[in-house]
Chains A and B, each alone.
Chain A
Amino acid sequence: MKLAGLKSVDGAHEDSIWAAAWVPAADHRPTALLLTGSIDETVRAWQPDDLAAASPPAGGHALGVISLAAHPAGVIAAAVSIDSHVRVFDVDSGASVATLDAAPSEVWGVQFHPKGVALAAAGGGSGSVKLWDTEKWQPIASLPVPRPEGARADKTGSGKFVLSVAWSPDGKLLACGSMDGTIAVYDAVRMKFLHHLEGHHMPVRSMVFSPVDPHVLLTGCDDSHIHIYDAKEKGLIGAMSGHASWVLSIDVSPDGMTVATGSSDRTVRLWDINARASVQTMSNHSDQVWAVVASRPPGGEGVRAGRLASASDDKSISLYDYS
């Protein structure tokens, strides 16, 4: 698999871009859209082929957008801002659908359930994962991250800060990653904690399940490594190294064979999971790459071709074709 640069937009936002998400095509809209969120407090939508602006920027995200997630139906998306509001909005019009409120610093990354029935948010300083239903936007549950066994009880310090969250493709597992490197896995059906995944000791800022195998969880961590876990059976099954600094963002291709990561070393890397090795490094960004997202074209499993987008602190978005 190879990446080929399609287009790059410099100055896509007025300031650093921190989040990106693909909105799948919907009934009323034949193509997918790329959403980006920035510190300039706006979310913008872009056409998937030429990165033309698809709609006027949507504001109202005080102090900057941390994380974006699109509903699988392609109509709505959720954006988290630093003031700890989750704004759910209509992708095409930019109008707010709901504003989910959390205590200060108690929400960070968000992700929609693969069927779209719930929204999971990494609960930041609350040390938990928060779930909202997507019909009435009421909180369903808050799943706390238990202290890992063997952790020293007398080391007091700031508690867990949950940064990232991911749903397995079948919606049965939910994983979250924290500031101290612990990864907790939950049974999302019974809302119960299952186990911790060990191996990281620094913030896990991004994680994603393989779209073809609900076992496989991929995590990117500040220790500059990428880990591959068996999330169901609790095991580290692989690790890949190569970035020179923090891994900020990770996504996986629709066939589950290739991983893309963005890092503080200003590169985007492409990795082959089978070979456990980096196969390509893109260094077209001039600052740290906060978001790497791969589009999921309709057609289900096994589709290899698609688009990859990366967004960076240098205010630019890059679009790649992979095949």
Chain B
Amino acid sequence: MSAPAARQGAEEEAERLLAAAKLNPNDGGPFRSLGHHYARAGDAQRAARCYQRAVALDPDDAEAGEALCDLLDAEGKESLELAVCKEAAGKSPRAFWAFRRLGYLQVHQKKWSDAIQSLQHSIRGYPTCADLWEALGLAYHRLGMFTAAVKSYGRAIELDSSRVFALIESGNIQLMLGYFRKGVEQFRSAVEMAPHNHSAYFGLASALLAWSKHCVTTGAFTWAANLLKEASETAKVCTSLAGNLSCVWKLHADTQLALARCFPWEDRHIKRGMDEQNFKASILQWRNTCLSAANSAKLSYQRALHLTPWEANIHIDTAICLDLICTMEENNSVDPIAWELPEKMSLGGLMLEPVNKDFWVTLGSVSSNQALKQHSLIRALQLDTSLSEAWAYLGKIYRQSGHKQLARQAFDRARSIDPSLALPWAGMSAENDHQSRAGSVNESYESCLRAVQILPLPEFQIGLGTIAARSGELLSPQVLMAVRQAVQRAPHYPESHNINGLVSEVRSDFQSAITSYQHAKFALGMMRRSKLDNRYPFVDVSVNLARSLCKAGLATDAVRECEELKTQGLLNVDGLQVYALALWKLGRHDEALSISRNLAENLSNMKQESATGALGFICTLAYNIAGKDSAASVIHTLPGQPSYNRELKFIISALDALQPSKRFQLPHLSTPPRLTSYDVMSEVHSNIALGKAIGGELNNCLGVGGGLSYLKKVLHMYPDCSLVRNHLGSLLLSSGDWTASHKAVRVTSLSHGHTSNRGLRSPHQIQACATMSCYATCTSYPKFSFPTCEDQYLSQYNGICNLQRLVHQEPWNQDARYLLVLAIFQKAREEKYPKHICATLKRLVLQIMSSSSNSQEHKLILYEKYLLLLLSSEVNLQSDDYENGIAQVTDALRVAPPSVDTFFAHLQLCRAYVVQGDLSNSRKEYMKCLQNRTNTEVGWVMLKQLESLCSVNRGSDEIEINLKGCIERNGRNPSKWASLFNLACAQCFMRDEDFASAEKALAQACAEKDADSCILFLNGAMHMEIARRYAAPQYITRAASSLRKAQQKSQAMVPIISLLLAQAEGSLGSKAKWEKNLRLEWFSWPPELRPAELYFQMHLLASQSTAAAAAGPQQKKQQQLVETMQSPGAWLLRAIHQNPSCSRYWTALLQLVCV
């Protein structure tokens, strides 16, 4: 069709459409088509009218609406467009096109909240329109609803992954919210998508910068440096894309500046034995990296400044950068009149914006002129009195100029205005540090720690380390972290290396400490060129180095170090001490002594504390080289007597304890306690107590009594000192007092706080030993045995549980296992060696034996092994495994260290052979026991018991003589041992059925004062037996009296005593007592263990009382007695039910039935 034809056709179409519109004026379709027609024809006005009509007729008509809006938009009639959209939106909620248009327009007009409503509505119509989501995100973003914005942007990106705007904007939001990683990811994908979009690069670089700043505040410098490198590369790309944007250059400069500030010195690739050249080279390399970064920052700032010279803050940034370069290059200008570059630049910034308070602060901080500094800071404060930075800097200036009071006030003010600013904290710390108040060191440590935590500057960190070294906080992990970071950030400061060395040394990592000190020396060497007056730090570092060399065992190197110092004439007091120590370690004793003499001459010139420290050192050295006498003579020639400090007191008390013959007169130790620290004094006191225990001569046994009473007094003064408690417990244990084990348990405490392992024995050891050492059965559960311990202290104490806990806590601790075995063995003994416990014991012993199998061992461990073998042999014996039992004893004899008492091994062998019935061997072992002898009373008593079983000659009283000697030597509880010995004799006699002698022996055993209830019981039973066998009624009275005593003595009711007593009393004709004792007997058995005989006796009792009740009705009150709970017949039936094999019960039943 030709063009005129087309026009013709179009006109025809228009006419047809007009006709259609006239025919049905309420239908919008024709109007829309007409509109299209006019629009095509270029008649905008008509077209608009037609579209308007169409939209008015059908507001949902998106096509017409969009076309109308496009027309209006093209003509720039924005308000009209808005009105059309509003009208349509108001007419129909389904007019989504209108809402969309409206939303866009509102976004354009920055009516954010209105836009959000429209956009949300329109999204219902076009849920997959990425533009809408993006616009919605923008609206939320601008309203500050960041999470909603992130979600909307995310939806937009999901729908269309090439949405760079959404990516960048959501990245910005993530940065704002502090999610650096997410932000960086988003910027990265934006960069990928639009590799030429400079804003994406800009965003990425700034995100990396922000992230790295975060890393710096947490202390991750290497990470931060890596991020910054990437950031500056990105910024570089950005500058190539948009080289005329000042902010891009500024960003690049910022990244470089941050890099210059945080680039860490890496020492990890440097080997330990690095020499000075390498060190210098690496430091120089580090410094050059920093400097080049700073210079590149400067260049970029210059470019930015060139582009926008009216921006004041770039001036200021440049000033800061220049200041950094100046400090790095360390070229202090000598001309005070000429303006320095940083000052000039910040002044330039101030010229542009004279009322910016921060600029004044910057000027104050970069200027090197005191007056100018002060002036500018005061100007800043005039602009804003609550400017904490200004106060802080002012405080710093005052401090430098020596106005302490003013400085303190300024810092205080800064701190109270903004407590999250690091500088005032550091300043306060420095202020406190220079005071001599007692608590001030602690306070300054706290302040400095705060400063370091807020801002990890190397200067603060070094300060923290210094304070920590003085206040003894070097072990704290915060200090470790700070100092390690300080080394990374300021490797050119010798202080940082020195303190790093101190920190390593405190942690016993001497190799690293040595390396650090060497680094410090190198760093000093580098500084020496510029400043000459650093001899003192050099000496300090060298002494430190020598000391850690000494500690690391490299005494030769330490000596060389000291000699070097000596040739320079720089050896100070500390150096002398280290020198002497190193010489001593090398075995050059004479030289060491001469050095220490040298040191002693200098004592009078020293300060109080260091003098006493040195004195303590001299004493210890003298003691180690020449023994206690020379140490004592050192003490005696003391210059100033009353000025002992605590450590010295400790040394003196230790020496005192070792020198029983020549005691010092130590008046100062008995003076009233001064207001000093508690722990050292308690150590001193425990030493004194030990001294008292050692008594007059070193070779005697410990005289425990004196030490005990002293320790009790000390405990009274320092009740919460676990050391004193431990000492007291262990002394009690070794006192041999019969009830000492119970007391020891009561004194030492496991229950609270951390238990101290110092002292003679650990609390666990004491508890385990106490459990073992009670000769009586202390079981609280009467199923296996009956408690015979008169004191009953241990009844609720569960030693095994505590030891299990210990083993669980310290699985490597062999000692704990050993103690556990002992405790379980005691339990097995109390419960008569049940099978499962025996199995456990065997396994445990095997475990211990296998874990320490090498032959070169300490004597103590060998002894432990010896005891364990004996113990397991006993367990084997008890479980009828004689062969193994004997084999283990022979093993034990083999491992036993030479000085050990092998008596018990032979005794055990003897017992085993006796059980086996091997008479000749058992007699042999018996003789060996006699030959070997022991200093333990119980050994002789046990040997006596075996005497009759081995059927050896009874005539000799060798055992008795030996026992007596033993008791005399030990001097404890002679009566107890005598009675036990007599008991053993009686047992021998009884075995031979020699009752007369046995009776005599037992009578002797009972005659000792405070005889044991068990012995009394046995005596009573013996008398009863004799009375039965020989029909000797006079014995019954004696039996009754012994049994009565036994009954009174035993605290818990031991069964059978009462039964026997009842029989005796019955035979003596006292029916009431018979009844009473029978009833007692009933209650002394635990319910589930009552034997048949008991029921039978109750039957007798019940039949008696029913007879009595039948005789007289007045005895009604007996109703509540125990035997009346059941009828006599029932009692008898229960007895038969328990033991049907006893014919006596059946006859009684027969009688009962017959009667």
Which chain A residues have a beta carbon within 8 Å of chain B's beta carbons?
15-16, 18, 39, 62-64, 66, 82-85, 101, 103-106, 108, 124-127, 156-159, 161, 163, 179, 202, 222-224, 244-246, 263-266, 288, 290, 313
Contacts and interface: CB of A to CB of B under 8 A. Distances in A.
Which size bracket describes the interface of B in this complex? Answer: 20 to 34
Top 3 nearest A-B pairs by Cβ distance? A83-B746, A161-B720, A264-B672
Contacts of A83: 742-743, 746-747
Contacts of B720: 105, 124-125, 158, 161, 179
Contact of B672 (A101, A202, A288): A288
Contact of B712 (A39, A222, A223): A39
A21 to B, nearest CB: 17
Given A18-B716, A82-B716, A108-B719, A103 B672 contact: no
A313 B717 CA distance: 11
Interface string B714-737: 011001101001001000000000
Contacts of A85: 746
A104 B746 contact: yes
Interface string B736-774: 000100110111111111100000000000000000000
A63 B719 contact: no
B752 A126 contact: yes
Nearest to A101: B796
A105 B672 contact: no
B733 to A, nearest CB: 13
Given A125-B753, A158-B753, A288-B672, A84 B719 contact: no
Contacts of A15: 709
Contact of A163 (B719, B745, B753): B719
29 contacts: A18-B716, A39-B712, A62-B743, A62-B746, A63-B743, A66-B716, A82-B716, A82-B746, A83-B742, A83-B743, A83-B747, A84-B746, A101-B796, A104-B725, A104-B745, A104-B747, A104-B749, A105-B725, A105-B747, A106-B749, A125-B752, A158-B722, A158-B752, A159-B752, A161-B719, A163-B719, A179-B719, A202-B675, A266-B672
Contacts of B750: 104
B713 interface: yes
A269 to B, nearest CB: 14
Given A64-B712, A124-B719, A106 B672 contact: no
A159 B713 contact: no
B1140 interface: no
A201 to B, nearest CB: 10
Given A222-B675, A224-B675, A264-B672, A104 B748 contact: yes
A125 B709 CA distance: 22
B836 interface: no
B674 A245 contact: yes
Contacts of B749: 103-106, 125
A315 to B, nearest CB: 12
Given A39-B716, A105-B719, A159-B752, A82 B673 contact: no
Contacts of B752: 105-106, 125-127, 158-159
Contacts of A66: 716, 719
A192 B747 CA distance: 30
Contacts of A125: 720, 749, 751-753
Nearest to A125: B752
Contact of A244 (B672, B716, B725): B672
B746 A159 contact: no
A161 B716 CA distance: 13
A25 to B, nearest CB: 30
Nearest to B722: A158
Interface string B684-712: 00000000000000000000000001001
B257 to A, nearest CB: 37
Contacts of B716: 18, 39, 64, 66, 82, 290
A161 B754 CA distance: 13
A245 B672 contact: yes
Contacts of A82: 712, 715-716, 746-747
Given A62-B743, A85-B746, 14 more contacts: A39-B716, A62-B739, A64-B716, A104-B725, A104-B750, A105-B719, A105-B752, A106-B751, A125-B753, A126-B752, A161-B719, A245-B672, A245-B675, A264-B673
A197 to B, nearest CB: 20
Report which residue of A66, A82, A127, A179 has the largest number of chain B beta carbons within 10 angstroms of its beta carbon. Answer: A82
B353 to A, nearest CB: 45
Contacts of B746: 62-63, 82-85, 104
A223 B674 CA distance: 9
B672 A265 contact: yes
A62 B725 CA distance: 14
Contacts of B751: 103-106, 125-126
Nearest to A62: B743
Contacts of A156: 754
Contacts of B719: 66, 105, 108, 124, 161, 163, 179
Nearest to B739: A62
Nearest to B711: A63
A156 B722 CA distance: 15
B672 A313 contact: no
A163 B720 CA distance: 9
Contacts of A18: 716
A246 B722 contact: no
A222 B753 CA distance: 22
A158 B751 CA distance: 11
Nearest to B737: A62
A106 B746 CA distance: 10
Nearest to A84: B746
Contact of A223 (B675, B713, B728): B675
Contacts of B673: 245-246, 264
A159 B753 contact: yes
A246 B676 CA distance: 11
A84 B728 CA distance: 14
B903 to A, nearest CB: 32
Nearest to A41: B712
Contacts of B713: 16, 39, 313
Contacts of B796: 101
Given A85-B746, A124-B719, A63 B712 contact: yes
Interface string B666-677: 000000111100
A110 B728 CA distance: 23
A224 B712 CA distance: 23
B887 to A, nearest CB: 42
A293 B673 CA distance: 22
A39 B709 contact: yes
Given A104-B748, A126-B751, A158-B754, A246 B715 contact: no
Interface in B995-1010: none
Nearest to B439: A201
Nearest to A124: B719
Which interface residue of A63, A64, A179, A222 has the most chain B CB atoms within 10 A? A63
B440 to A, nearest CB: 15
B997 to A, nearest CB: 38
Nearest to A178: B720
A317 to B, nearest CB: 17
Interface string B6-44: 000000000000000000000000000000000000000
A290 B673 CA distance: 13
A87 to B, nearest CB: 13
A187 B739 CA distance: 41
Contacts of B748: 104
Contacts of B753: 125, 157-159
A64 B796 CA distance: 23
B504 to A, nearest CB: 23
A214 B606 CA distance: 55
B1020 to A, nearest CB: 28
B121 to A, nearest CB: 55
A81 to B, nearest CB: 9
A161 B720 CA distance: 6
B747 A63 contact: yes
A53 to B, nearest CB: 23
